[in-house]
Amino acid sequence: MPRSLPVGTLAKYTTLRQLQVFEAVARLGSFTRAADELYLAQPTVSMQIKKLTNSIGYPLLEQIGQRIEMTEIGRDVYTACHDVFGALESLEMKIAAIQGMRKGHLKLAVLTSAKYLGPHLLGAFLRHYPEIDIELKVTNRENLLKRIERHDDDIYIMGQPPEGLEAESFPLVPNPLVAMARYDHPLAQETHIPLKRLIQEPLIMREQGSGTRAAFEQLITAKGMTLPPPKMEFASNEAIKQAIVAGLGISFMSRHSLVLEGTDGPISILDVQGFPIERNWYLLYPKGRNPSIVTQTFLDFVANEGRDLLENFEAEMKDFQQRRRKPITKKTVKSTQKKKA
């Protein structure tokens, strides 16, 4: 039964190992996966969770279907775990700074559409701080929002954050949304394409809840038009690009999603009225938590030295878009494929 705790009980009877095990089980939703991650036997994991639960006096986890979920108290303990681990990491970094080193661990989670921007920033950051270990997670918007709510990471990069999100945020760099079609699509040779003409084509869209899809739907609504049902829906930009190349329709994605494909590939950016839809990438970090020294070092880098880097990145993207709009012939594509071979 739940019981009241004398002040100081948790500090006296709770161990860091118990908190580490609980954090892993709560984050992964599984005793087995937590045991694998921590290189422990599953009975050991269960025992540590039981001891922590007895110390606190309230259930921390509950079984829902096949997954382990946190109780209300469990979520409070999960937050406390990150506060404790963050404080210890900050202490380690202070000790390292005294020794003249910059070491530590940075966890960065980015939206799938920003998977090129994230490494671009990290590469420059690591050239300044090569001793820092980086853990990069690329995921969709729904999962990224869950990670932010759980404070799974130190830094996040995504599109427009929703209102009420428990995170500090500031804009990083423009993230224009453009219309795309296969290189030999009739619209690829046209200019100033009316939006009404565009939505008559078979549409390939991201899943419901996607920021990209929401931005396009808002544009259609603002113009007083009705968006027809999409021909296809996909949960990844890579799948959408393959569908475009296969000639299944047109779509709308971040211009950055084409950054590594060259200027004479099988996809063209269309010249559509109202496009590009101007948006921004945002950098976020958990609200109410003091950033670790590693996190603060990264934030300072982005605010100072990273500014020029991002401006250069955006300039490259604008130049890329202009070249991408040039008419592309089948002969050009074959020539490019031959060179790659």
CATH of domain 102-174+280-318: 3.40.190.10
Closest listed residue to residue 330, CA positions, set 251, 274, 247: 247
Q: State the Cα–Cα distance between residues 116 and 260, nearest whole angstrom.
A: 8
Mean pLDDT of 91-112: 75
B/e letters for 97-133, b = 16+ CB within 10 Å, e = fewer, are eeeeeebbebbbbbbbbbbbbbbbbbebbeeebeebe
The boundaries of every CATH 1.10.10.10 domain in the chain are 9-80
Contact 207, 252 (CB under 8 A): no
199 vs 116: which has the higher pLDDT: 199
* Top-confidence range, 62-71, 85-94, 306-315: 62-71
The boundaries of every CATH 3.40.190.10 domain in the chain are 102-174+280-318, 177-278
Mean pLDDT of 107-136: 84
Q: What are the tens digits of pLDDT across the range 251-280? A: 988 877 775 454 446 888 899 988 888 888
Mean pLDDT of 156-171: 84
CA 59 to chain centre: 32
Mean pLDDT of 31-39: 91
Q: pTM to 2 decimals?
A: 0.60
DSSP labels, 171-211:
EEEE--EEEEEETTSGGGG-SSB-HHHHTTSPBEEEPTT-H
Number of residues written out for the chain: 341
Mean pLDDT of 191-217: 87
Per CATH, which fold does 9-80 belong to? Arc Repressor Mutant, subunit A (1.10.10)
The enclosing H or E element of 47 equals helix 42-56
Q: State the Cα–Cα distance between residues 138 and 103, nearest whole angstrom.
A: 23
Tell me: pLDDT of 319 over 80: no
Contact 198, 250 (CB under 8 A): yes
Tell me: pLDDT of 70 over 90: yes
Q: What is the pLDDT of residue 77?
A: 94
Q: How confident is the model at residue 316 (pLDDT cuts 50, 70, 90)?
A: low
Contact 219, 190 (CB under 8 A): no
Percentage of the chain modeled with pLDDT above 90: 19
Q: State the Cα–Cα distance between residues 84 and 11, nearest whole angstrom.
A: 12
Q: How confident is the model at residue 332 (pLDDT cuts 50, 70, 90)?
A: very low
Tell me: pLDDT of 327 over 80: no
CATH of domain 177-278: 3.40.190.10
Mean pLDDT of the chain: 81
Tell me: pLDDT of 22 over 90: yes
Any bridge partners for residue 168, and if so which?
A: 285
Percentage of the chain modeled with pLDDT above 70: 82
53 vs 292: which has the higher pLDDT: 53
Residue 283's identity, in one-letter code, is: L
Which residues, 6+ apart, have CB-to-CB distance to 326 below 8 Å?
Answer: 263
- In sequence order, what E strands does the chain have? 61-64, 67-70, 104-111, 132-139, 155-158, 167-174, 177-182, 204-206, 232-234, 251-254, 267-269, 280-286
Pairing of strands 280-286, 167-174: antiparallel
Contact 281, 117 (CB under 8 A): yes
Query: Omega before 286 cis (within 30°)?
Result: no
Residue 282's identity, in one-letter code, is: Y
Burial group, residue 198, by CB count within 10 angstroms (0-12, 13-18, 19+): buried
Tell me: pLDDT of 158 over 70: yes
